[in-house]
């Protein structure tokens, strides 16, 4: 699949300008991109989003394999896949919503809903309820990502590559850090604490998304 994706990438002409690409000096990239408040805010929000999701995903399998669920590996896989399916189905609508009501509003609402789903997950007592909640989670997560990813590209039009690289680095750092912390939390406090930690991280991401209102308004005025 990776090789197929690489082949498509090299065959595609989408996004090619045909003109000269401006080479920005390293000093500018370090000072004006890495130090840009909007870039740092969207990157920190992305960090918390991935941290919240992977926090739950890391410990979900042993949680669902134990009573009262007692799910098999295939059933656990289906529960997790529900989130991916919802993301596939709803991502186009999430992008459309971000264009209609704004990137900040779309992400803030989506991430607040993500936090609410994480709190609700603890109440599920059977695999059908858990699968349904994961489907909802994947759907609202699509809205959270739609605005953040768009802003990571739009905040600094002259340095899109650098700003999106910083954004991706931050969110994958959340991906890497979550298993270390959630495993300890699961062993010591149980899954309820994991769900609450994930909900707090998602809500923090939503608040950071709201803080991007001023940069978004500045983009609209240009």
**What range does the domain containing 217 cover?**
36-221
Domain CATH number, residue 159:
1.20.1250.20
Task: Tell me the C-alpha distance between 136 and 133, whole Å.
Answer: 5
Does 30 fall in a domain? no
The total of structural domains in the chain comes to 1
Does 24 fall in a domain? no
pLDDT tens digits, one per residue of 124-158: 989 999 999 999 999 999 999 999 999 999 988 77
C-beta atoms surrounding 148 within 10 Å: 29
Query: Could you tell me the pTM of the whole model?
Result: 0.88
Tokens in use for 218? 């500045």
214 pLDDT band (50/70/90 cuts)? confident
pLDDT tens digits, one per residue of 91-126: 999 999 999 999 999 999 999 999 999 999 999 989
Residue 200 has pLDDT above 80, yes or no: yes
Does 50 fall in a domain? yes
pLDDT tens digits, one per residue of 29-61: 666 777 788 999 999 999 999 999 999 999 999
Does 23 fall in a domain? no
């Amino acid at each position: 699949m990776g090789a197929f994706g690489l082949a498509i990438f090299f065959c595609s002409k989408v996004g090619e300008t045909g003109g000269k690409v401006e080479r920005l000096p390293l000093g500018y990239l370090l000072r004006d991109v890495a130090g840009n408040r909007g870039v740092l805010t969207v990157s920190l929000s992305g960090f918390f989003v991935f941290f919240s999701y992977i926090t739950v995903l890391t410990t979900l399998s042993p949680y669902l394999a134990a009573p009262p669920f007692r799910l098999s590996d295939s059933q656990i896989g289906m529960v997790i896949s529900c989130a991916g399916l919802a993301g596939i189905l709803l991502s186009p609508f999430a992008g459309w919503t971000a264009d209609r009501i704004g990137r900040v509003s779309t992400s803030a609402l989506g991430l607040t809903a993500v936090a609410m789903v994480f709190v609700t997950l603890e109440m599920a007592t059977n695999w059908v309820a858990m699968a349904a909640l994961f489907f909802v989670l994947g759907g609202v997560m699509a809205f959270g990502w739609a605005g953040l990813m768009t802003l990571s590209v739009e905040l600094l039009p002259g340095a899109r590559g650098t700003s999106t690289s910083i954004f991706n680095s931050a969110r994958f750092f959340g991906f890497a850090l979550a298993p270390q912390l959630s495993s300890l939390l699961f062993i010591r406090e149980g899954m309820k604490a994991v769900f609450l930690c994930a909900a707090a991280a998602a809500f923090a991401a939503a608040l950071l998304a709201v803080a991007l209102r001023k940069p978004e308004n500045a983009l609209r005025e240009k």
